């Protein structure tokens, strides 16, 4: 469900007098325990390929950022993703599904989001991060050609549409939900 669809569902639920149902739909995580269970399953490479989606990437990134700083968290995320890909049976000598630019982009975005919302609990940050940023968000900053190039896959490249500093200064301060 994209942000516009979530917004429309939210409006309908509010008008129908079911704010609890709306909150349940928009909140993926309810407890720190759920979040740390996700982190454990990532680190132990027991999470299934079907369960490893965009939101899970973001939440694991957020967990690492909470305790490791940006550089340490990025290293842990990179290593963890590569370990997970191997566990999924991906032959990294023949194909390379890991994408350095996307990893660094999301780590920087999650880091900025976390700093800007430092007063929130881990659960609130995780849910907010997942609600605010869909998987196509990098395409606001990168052309498709650059983002999906071999170079961007193997090394971090700066955005070609909007400079990265705009990600922290404008995009994260937006409260617009559509």
Q: Delimit the domains of the chain by residue range.
A: 31-173
* pTM confidence score: 0.78
- Whether residue 17 is predicted with pLDDT greater than 50 in this model: the reply is no
Tokens in use for 169? 């200064």
pLDDT in tens, 34-62: 999 999 999 999 999 999 999 999 999 99
Please give the average per-residue pLDDT across 89-116, as a whole number.
91
Dihedral-angle region of residue 69 (phi above 0 means left; psi in -120 to 50 means alpha; beta otherwise): left
H/E segment holding residue 127: helix 122-132
């Amino acid at each position: 469900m994209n942000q516009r669809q979530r917004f429309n569902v939210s409006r309908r639920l509010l008008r129908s007098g079911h704010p609890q149902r709306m909150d349940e739909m928009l909140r993926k995580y309810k407890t720190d325990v759920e979040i740390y269970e996700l982190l454990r399953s990532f680190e132990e490479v027991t999470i299934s390929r079907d369960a490893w989606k965009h939101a899970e990437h973001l939440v694991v990134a957020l967990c690492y950022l909470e305790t490791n700083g940006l550089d340490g968290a990025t290293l842990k995320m990179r290593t963890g993703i590569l370990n997970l890909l191997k566990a999924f049976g991906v032959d990294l000598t023949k194909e390379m599904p890991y994408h350095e630019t996307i990893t660094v982009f999301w780590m920087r975005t999650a880091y900025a989001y976390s700093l800007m919302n430092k007063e929130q609990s881990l659960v609130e940050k995780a849910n907010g991060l997942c609600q605010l940023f869909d998987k196509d968000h990098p395409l606001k900053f990168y052309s498709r050609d650059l983002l999906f190039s071999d170079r961007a896959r193997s090394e971090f490249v700066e955005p070609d549409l909007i400079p990265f500093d705009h990600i922290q200064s404008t995009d994260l301060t937006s409260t617009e939900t559509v």
